[in-house]
Amino acid sequence: MRKLIFAINTTLDGCVDHTKQFVDEEKLEYFTHLTREVDLQVFGRKTYQLMVPYWPEVLKNQSETKADIEFARAFDSTNKIVFSRSLATAEDRNTRIVRTNLRDEILKLKQEQGKNILVGGVDIPSQLMELGLVDEYRFVVGPTLAGAGRRLLEGVSLPETLQLKLVESKFFKSGCVALHYSKQ
């Protein structure tokens, strides 16, 4: 069975607002490697529209750093699903819009053949955590205190406390720490 992996950048105080954080070469390389380990990415509309058209444009123009271009290449090559009631069409050629039940669709996708599934953003992953469908968590914690902004797990009601197992940790020169946890 395929695993569902939730990955996100966060500050020390749990802020997941992308405007309150920095992205450097090491973070991009980390997420490039992670993206290459999956063959499907899942988003809600808001996160999808942050990623597309930005990363396809980076790939097309080739004007950013090597790390940006490598991430854009990995991002562009994976299939994507966007859960949305309002998005009419997808700009990305590898994207399918899904309007059916989140739980049922993810359970079906986890049973299919293929590599693991990566979910990003906040709203859809929060719902998936509440449903108990996330198998692994990848948090990249930056050495920043934001003091404001959307928080990780804000408004999430877990049916029970999740006990996670630390699988791996990686320290970046920037002071970021990548934490990889799995459900026990």
pLDDT of residue 159: 83
Residue 105 clears pLDDT 90, i.e. is over it: yes
- pLDDT tier for residue 155 given thresholds of 50, 70 and 90: confident
Distance CA 103, CA 84 (A): 14
pLDDT, mean over the chain: 95
Cβ neighbours of residue 47 under 8 Å, at least 6 residues apart?
Answer: 120, 121, 122, 123, 124
- Eight-state DSSP code of residue 19: G
Residue 91 clears pLDDT 90, i.e. is over it: no
Average confidence (pLDDT) over 6-34: 95
Whole-number CA gyration radius for the chain = 16
pTM: 0.95
Identity of residue 31: F
- pLDDT tier for residue 182 given thresholds of 50, 70 and 90: very high
- pLDDT tier for residue 142 given thresholds of 50, 70 and 90: very high
- pLDDT tier for residue 45 given thresholds of 50, 70 and 90: very high
- pLDDT tier for residue 154 given thresholds of 50, 70 and 90: confident
Cβ neighbours of residue 100 under 8 Å, at least 6 residues apart?
Answer: none
Residue 63 clears pLDDT 90, i.e. is over it: no
SS (H, E, C) 134-150: CCEEEEEEECCCCCCCC
